Amino acid sequence: MDQESSSSPHRSNRLAVIAATAVATLTASAILYFNRSTPEDLFTFSSPGPTGIWIESYHGNEKNVVIPSWVVREMPTDNWLGGRFIRWTGIREMPFPVRVTGIRGGLFIDHRELKSCKIPAGVCHLHSQTFKYCTALESVTLPQKIVRIDQGTFENCHSLKSIRIPDSVEVIGMGAFTNCVSLRSVSLPKSLKEIRGPAFAGCLTLESVEFAEGIQHIEGFYGCVNLRQIRLPKSTTAIGLLAFTGCSSLTEIELPHSVESVGSEAFQDCKSLSKIKLPDTLTTIYTNAFGNCTSLQSIHLPKSLRHIEKNAFYRCTGLESVTIPDGVQTVQGFDTCLNLTQVKLPASATEIGGGAFRNCSNLTHIELPPTLQRIETNAFCYSGLRSVTIPESVVEIDKHAFLMCRELETVVISNPNTKIHPQAFSMCSKLKNPPGAAQP
């Protein structure tokens, strides 16, 4: 047996001195951090856990807040070193510095006097709505280890002019910077993997966005009406839903040779967009992707393209000509292209989709390929067609396919077995005997 057992008063006293020294040293260190921060009594803290302590709420009205990195807590010593100090010294509780590692969502929500905030280095996740409606907030210092900026974190921070997003951030949540109307530029780090939903929607003064290489799916800039410059990284594979909808100052954009799809409404209402270069990797253009891009006069569709969804180029009133590449089977997406005069269809086309060329009032002629099998509802309704030859391959012409084509005078049906809906050529006033209509 050891000469100095665990029950020895000498050993017990020495351990007590060691414990007291450790506590004094760490507490002094914590107070050093604390004295440089906003007073502790303005925060409510969670119980210390294995990874640190969380700030649950803030009930002050200071304009400049520095969140403490460490907090001195009275902690049951059972939580430290397996309770050995209890057995050796008899101390039940003692003050101990605990690192701040988390901030609860909505911590500063609606604190309209807050101007600046410094977040401690231990925090790695900004939870939802942390600074929502902090309308006077001008600057925020984010820690270098933060990996997520969650939903609505800075929503409606109207005075926030700039923010440095650390190279550790991987996810920017939906609406994270929505309506930050003073934000002029954004530089996104190479660590970023995902921008969720309209993260920067309504940032009215945002003029430029710099993307680092690495991100693949891009969206989030809905309604950034002053956005003029975008340079997308070579890692981009998809332009997502509503990505740049309503960016009415955007005049041109080049998609890198890695993009495979342009999402629904991605560039809708980009009314100044006159030039866009699509890559030879693009396979799909989704619904309304370029809807209402009224300044777009021409567009080169790459040979890689396979799918054009309904209304993809809806109301592109400046578009004058288009060549659909070979490989596309269902042709559609040019509804209300009022100035469209020339369309070249591919040999691969088997179907003219619903509303494909509806309201194309200046389209007077189109050559349908010998592979075509079906012409769907409203495909050419209200168009300016004067004559049309339906190839022998066509099996069916749907209701209202040529509704109110008022200039249509001649229709040639090559195959007498083609199924024609009785109203396929309704209200074509210059047609004396509309195909499919019941004869008197």
Q: Tens of pLDDT along 251-303?
A: 999 999 999 999 999 999 999 999 999 999 999 999 999 999 999 999 999 99
| Among 100-104, 318-322, 416-420, the least confident range | 100-104
Instruction: Say whether pLDDT at 35 is over 60.
Output: no
| Among 66-80, 272-286, 370-384, the least confident range | 66-80
- Return the pLDDT at 255: 96
CA distances from 412 to 141, 347, 364, 416 (A): 71, 20, 15, 10
Check if the beta carbon of residue 366 is closer than 8 Å to that of residue 343.
yes
Q: State the pLDDT confidence band at 68, using cuts at 50, 70 and 90.
A: confident
The whole-angstrom separation of Cα 26 and Cα 20 is 10
Q: If you average pLDDT over residues 203-208, what whole number do you get?
A: 95
Structure tokens at 9: 């008063």
Instruction: Say whether pLDDT at 437 is over 90.
Output: no
Instruction: Say whether pLDDT at 340 is over 70.
Output: yes
- Return the pLDDT at 309: 98
- By C-alpha distance, which of 119, 88, 65, 78 is closest to 13? 88
Instruction: Say whether pLDDT at 49 is over 90.
Output: no
315: left (phi over 0), alpha (psi -120 to 50) or beta: left
- Return the pLDDT at 93: 38
Q: If you average pLDDT over residues 126-131, what whole number do you get?
A: 93
- Return the pLDDT at 116: 94
Q: Where are the beta strands (DSSP E) in 206-285?
A: 208-210, 217-218, 229-231, 238-239, 252-254, 261-262, 275-277, 284-285
Q: If you average pLDDT over residues 125-150, what whole number do you get?
A: 93
Instruction: Say whether pLDDT at 1 is over 80.
Output: no
The whole-angstrom separation of Cα 371 and Cα 84 is 84
- Return the pLDDT at 74: 54
Structural Rg of the chain based on CA atoms: 33
pLDDT, averaged across the chain? 86
Structure tokens at 111: 């604190």
CA distances from 360 to 192, 295, 368 (A): 43, 16, 16
Instruction: Say whether pLDDT at 26 is over 50.
Output: no
- Return the pLDDT at 426: 96
Instruction: Say whether pLDDT at 356 is over 90.
Output: yes
DSSP 396-423: EE-TTTTTT-TT--EEEES-TT-EE-TT
| Among 25-34, 116-125, 340-349, the least confident range | 25-34
For the chain, how many helices (H) and strands (E)?
2, 30
329, 333, 334, 335: CA torsion to nearest 10 = 130
Check if the beta carbon of residue 439 is closer than 8 Å to that of residue 433.
yes
The whole-angstrom separation of Cα 143 and Cα 155 is 19
Q: State the pLDDT confidence band at 366, using cuts at 50, 70 and 90.
A: very high
The whole-angstrom separation of Cα 399 and Cα 411 is 16
Residue ranges per structural domain of the chain: 9-101
Instruction: Say whether pLDDT at 92 is over 60.
Output: no
